[in-house]
Amino acid sequence: MPPAEPRRPARPTRTSRPAGSPRDRAGEDGDVALVLDAGGARSAYQVGVLEVLLPELERRGVHPTLHLGTSAGALLAAALTSTAHLDAEEQVERLVATLDQATKRHVIRPLWQQVPVVALRYASETLGLSVFRLRGLFGTGPLARTLGRAISWDSLHDNLEQGRVHALSIVATAVRTGEVVMFTETDPDHRDLPGPETPDGYRRFVRTHLGVEHLMASSAIPTLFPSVRVESPDEAAGWYADGATRRRVPLAPALELGAERVVAVGTGSLHPRTADPVLDRTPVDLGDGGATLLGSVMDDPMRHDLRRLAETNAMAADEDLRPALDRHRASRGRPPYRVVPYVAIAPERGDALADTALEVFRENHKSWRGTLSDPDLQVVHRLLGSDSPLQGELLSYLLFDPDFFDAARDLGRRDGRTWLAEHPDLWETGPIQAPAG
C-alpha cells in the first residue's frame, strides 16, 4: 500500500537510488548502522534530528545500510527502509508525513471505548476465567491499521531484496522469558545473522519476513498497550512486549551485524541529571514512580552503551593494549575490538521534551473545552498526579498531539544542527562531553 503523501505540494519525481552491489551501498568504510531508540510520542524528536542528519549524510556520500529500531524507533526504521530508494530530502518528507498520521486517534482507541472491555476482562481474571485476559489498558487496533497504511511494505521488502538496505532489525521482548529478540530481514547476499544466541545469552537474532505484527510487538508498552502475539517465524512465535523493556545494550546488535560506524538517535538525555536536594525532598506520587521507571528503561541504556563504546574505542586504539586484548577476545571466541566512529544525538537537557509536553498539554488539553474534546489525557493526568514535577515525563510518551510533534521536531532539528556544528568531520570516537556549566 503506498505511503501517505507529504503535506507539501508534490515536486517533480526524483531519480531513485540505484541498488548497486552490497559493497557499493555500504561504501568503502563498510556498513553504517542507523539505530533509533524507543520513545513513544517523543519519536517526533527523532524525526526532527533526521530532517537535518539524513541530507547531510547523503551530501557526504554516507547511506545507512543497517536499520535497527526499538518501539517507536522501530516504526521509524521501517518507514526509512521503505523509502531507501529515494533521496534523503524525499525520505524526510515521507517520514514527516508518516508522523502526521500518528495522532492519538490513529494510535489508540478512546479510553471510554476501552472501559467496558477492560472492566469485563479484569472481572473475568478476578473470577479465575483466564481465557479472557487483560493485556493492556489501551486498545491499539488503530495503530495496526495506521502501520499497514502508512508504510509501503512492498517497497520495504524490495529495498531489502535489492540491497539498498542490508538489514532491518526490529527489537521486541518475549513476555514470559524476557528474551530480547531482534526480528530481522536482510538482503539475499547479507552475511549470516549472529547467533543462534549472543554471548550474554539473553538476546538473539531471528530471520523473518517483517510485517505489522513485529512493529506492534516492539511498541507494546507493558500495562498501557496490550502484548502482541507474533506468529512468524514459527521458531519465535509467542507473546511479545515493547523492545525497550529488557534491551540493555541498544548499540550491540548493530555491532554484531558488522557495522563499522553507528548513527544513534535517542529521546532521553545523554547526560544524567545533576543532584537537586530541593527537588529530591518534594513529595512524590504514582506519576513520579512511573516517570522514574520509564527513565531507567528508555534513557539509561543508550547513555551507558555510548559510554562503553567510547571506552572500547580507547582500548582498541591503544597499541600497547591491543595484543593482550586480542588474545583475551580470541580465547572467548570473539572478534578483536575495533574503533567504531559514531554520531549520537539526543536532547541536551533531560527535561526538554518533558517541559515541552507539559506546555502543550496545558495549552491544548487542560481547559474544559480541551478536556471534552479529548478526555483521555486529562483522566490519565489526574490519576497519575497532576501536580507532579515529573508529570511532563509521562505525558511526553503519550502526547500524540500535532503541536507536540512540531515542537519536538524543532528540538530535534536544533540538536542535529548543534552536532554538525560541533563535529565538522561528523564522527566521534571518544566520550560525549557534558555541557558546560
- Catalytic one of 31, 37, 43, 71: 71
Phi-psi region of 333 (alpha: psi -120 to 50; beta: other; left: phi over 0): left
CA 16 to chain CA centroid, Å, is 26
Neighbours of 97 (CB within 10 A): 17
Task: Compute CA distances 13 → 10, 16, 86, 154, whole Å.
Answer: 8, 9, 10, 19
What span, in angstroms and rounded, lies between the C-alpha atoms of 46 and 80? 12
Phi, then psi, of 273 in degrees rounded to 5: -70, 150
Q: Are strands 32-36 and 238-242 parallel, antiparallel or unpaired?
A: unpaired
What whole-number distance in Å separates Cα of residue 201 and Cα of residue 435? Answer: 36
List of residues 6+ apart from 144 with CB closer than 8 A: 212, 216
Q: Any catalytic annotation for residue 87?
A: no
Cβ-based neighbours of 123, under 8 Å, separated by 6 or more: none
> Angle at CA 14, nearest 5°, toward 13 and 18?
135
- Cβ neighbours for 343, distance < 8 A, ≥ 6 positions apart: 53, 262, 263, 264, 419, 423, 426, 427, 428
262, 32 in Cβ contact below 8 A? Answer: yes
**Annotation says 154 is catalytic:** no
The DSSP code for 245 is G
Pairing of strands 238-242, 180-186: unpaired
Of 31, 37, 187, 242, which one is the catalytic site residue? Answer: 242
Q: Which active-site residues does the annotation give?
A: 71, 242
